[in-house]
Chain A
Amino acid sequence: MGYKKKEGSGAFIFKWDPRVKIAALFVYLVFSLQAERILPLLLSLGFVVLLALLGRVSLWEFIRRLSLLILFGGFLLIFYPFLVPGQEIFAVNLGPLGADASLEGFYRGVVLLLRLAVSLAVLTVLLVSTGPVNIFKALEDLRVPGLFLRTAEFTLRYFYLCTDELKTMITAQKARGFEPAKSLLNIFTMNTLSHLIGMLFLRTYKRGERVYTAMLSRGYTGEFYTLSSFSPQISDYLLGVLVSAAGIAIFLFDKGAV
């Protein structure tokens, strides 16, 4: 879970004011993801990796999170060549069914994969160096709607509680001798699991009511008040300008203006 302090927490990227960091990385993403060629996108990814390394973001953390790409990116590379028409690289024939893989499709798949990689890399840098608590605070300061933030915060806060409740319920079922059948088509197994999910919903609903009552008891009237504790320095803004400028430069390079 992203709440843990990561190594390198004394480095510049960890000290960077979260509001400026989010704004700058957002600008960087918006511009650099406009690129449609592989080289600018590779440069964009390289810049984020460099930023992470200079900022002493754990390399292992970086690799661990980017490894998610293998799953989604793999699908892009497998299917895109068959979806986009163009110069044929190879053909797949399965009896009466056949499909041609195109070079253009493969190229398109790689571009999308790189865009995904850049987004994930930026998100990793942000999450690891800032942590969800400060990200939410900064988004609040950046005037992101409170309802959206509260929903996200509550999801994060209560996800683990619901998971624990589910685990406890499963353990209690096992303690009374329940063993799910190998097939979900087994009526008893299906019934038991549906009851489990239904009960979890009810418990969650009840929990929600209790949380709301507890909030009311402390004077909640529908408005959220928070105290901002950030005070950006000139160096924070300079770094922000640098990162944003890098995004714009990649965009211009892709369009052939640089």
Chain B
Amino acid sequence: MPYEKYAVEIKNLFYTYPGGVEALKGLSVRVPLNSKTALLGPNGAGKTTLIFHLNGIFLPQKGEVYVLGQEVSRKTEKELKTKVGLVFQDPDDQLFAPTVWEDAAFGPLNMGLKRDEVEKRVEEALKQVGAYELKDRPPYMLSYGEKKRAAIAGVLAMDPEIIVLDEPWAFLDPLGQEQIGDILTRLHEKGKTIILATHDVDFAAQWADWVIVIRDGMLVAEGEPSLLTEEGVVFRGGLRYPLITRLFKEAKLMEGDKLPYTLDQGIEIIRKLLEEGLRQN
């Protein structure tokens, strides 16, 4: 597997839950290294099952999963937990320790790090997400946004190369969403690969530089976010167009591969159209 190119490469992955539900049916996807990847798909598409394969919580029943060039297996699962950090959808599932500080220290302590290193990492991680002042607070006393940041800190303290977030916006107010968005941007600038499972097509189009669409445990499409303007992908993926794309499509202002999918692109097109209109008048 070309480590230089892909952080994750999955080949023909199958996974069936003990109850018989087939969650993944021959899924093959790639995540470029140092990308901002959005994993899109409707409920039950297999997003969470896929995520659980990335740090060895689930092992492939059939197929192969490579993370940073290393195959996910029973032998590598422990090491992978330090390379891939998972942030769960509900922070109450993740924050279990009596204080925020202790929760952030949980991962580094499991890694067998020395006290000084643990303390350094926890402090840095809490500061990175603006949660250092919450360090002595018990998680249940935090607001939802604070819990979310504390949960991210718990993963950052392990200093993983890949950070995977499951529905990070769920139940967050706009300010909280903005704060998490800023944190993710900063982490990406530091060289981390960010994978984000979401339903939010608008955010994916705006934020991501790589998009994966899955449905019924199979790949619908992967590539640059412009594929979210393609009717076939949107229809087969059970998604909707990004609002800015829909605006231009329904107003018949643009068609095909010229359709914008980010706000900046939309503004630029409107500006050009206005300038053209003014010139013609």
List chain A positions with a Cβ less than 8 A from chain B. Answer: 3, 132-133, 136, 153-154, 156-158, 160-161, 207, 210-211, 213-221, 225-227
Known: A161-B92, A218-B158. A132 touches B109 (CB 8 A): no
A218–B77 CA distance with the chains assembled, in angstroms: 11
> Do residues A219 and B82 form an inter-chain contact, with CB atoms below 8 A?
yes
Since A216-B57, A218-B110, A220-B110 are in contact, a sample of 13 more A-B pairs with Cβ atoms closer than 8 Å, ordered by chain A residue number, is: A3-B138, A157-B96, A207-B93, A213-B52, A213-B93, A214-B96, A217-B55, A217-B86, A218-B107, A219-B78, A219-B81, A219-B158, A227-B105
B76 to chain A, nearest CB (A): 13
Complex contacts, B118 vs chain A, CB 8 Å: 227
A210–B119 CA distance with the chains assembled, in angstroms: 27
Complex contacts, B55 vs chain A, CB 8 Å: 217
A221–B93 CA distance with the chains assembled, in angstroms: 17
List chain B positions with a Cβ less than 8 A from chain A. Answer: 52, 55, 57, 78, 81-82, 85-86, 88, 90, 92-94, 96-99, 102, 105-107, 109-112, 115, 118-119, 138-141, 154-155, 158
A208 to chain B, nearest CB (A): 10
> Do residues B93 and A211 form an inter-chain contact, with CB atoms below 8 A?
yes
A227–B103 CA distance with the chains assembled, in angstroms: 12
Complex contacts, A133 vs chain B, CB 8 Å: 98-99, 102, 138
Q: What DSSP secondary structure best describes chain A's contact surface?
A: helix
> Do residues B81 and A217 form an inter-chain contact, with CB atoms below 8 A?
yes
A18 to chain B, nearest CB (A): 13
Which of B112, B115, B139, B158 makes the CB contact (< 8 A) with A157? B139
> What are 7 A-B pairs at a CB distance below 8 A?
A3-B141, A133-B99, A153-B97, A157-B138, A213-B93, A219-B107, A226-B109
Complex contacts, B57 vs chain A, CB 8 Å: 213, 216-217
> Do residues B102 and A160 form an inter-chain contact, with CB atoms below 8 A?
no
B147 to chain A, nearest CB (A): 11
Complex contacts, A225 vs chain B, CB 8 Å: 109-110, 112
> Do residues B98 and A136 form an inter-chain contact, with CB atoms below 8 A?
yes
A140–B105 CA distance with the chains assembled, in angstroms: 16
> Do residues A211 and B96 form an inter-chain contact, with CB atoms below 8 A?
yes
> Do residues B88 and A161 form an inter-chain contact, with CB atoms below 8 A?
no
A137–B141 CA distance with the chains assembled, in angstroms: 19
Known: A153-B98, A160-B140, A213-B57. A219 touches B110 (CB 8 A): yes
Chain A residue with Cβ nearest B58: A213
Chain B residue with Cβ nearest A4: B141
> Do residues B90 and A210 form an inter-chain contact, with CB atoms below 8 A?
yes
A213–B48 CA distance with the chains assembled, in angstroms: 12
Chain A residue with Cβ nearest B93: A210
Complex contacts, A156 vs chain B, CB 8 Å: 98
> Do residues B88 and A226 form an inter-chain contact, with CB atoms below 8 A?
no
Complex contacts, A226 vs chain B, CB 8 Å: 102, 109
Among A133, A211, A217, residue most surrounded by chain B Cβ atoms (within 10 Å): A217
A156–B97 CA distance with the chains assembled, in angstroms: 10
A81–B215 CA distance with the chains assembled, in angstroms: 73
B69 to chain A, nearest CB (A): 20
A207–B94 CA distance with the chains assembled, in angstroms: 10
A214–B85 CA distance with the chains assembled, in angstroms: 10
Which of A136, A158, A210, A227 makes the CB contact (< 8 A) with B88? A210
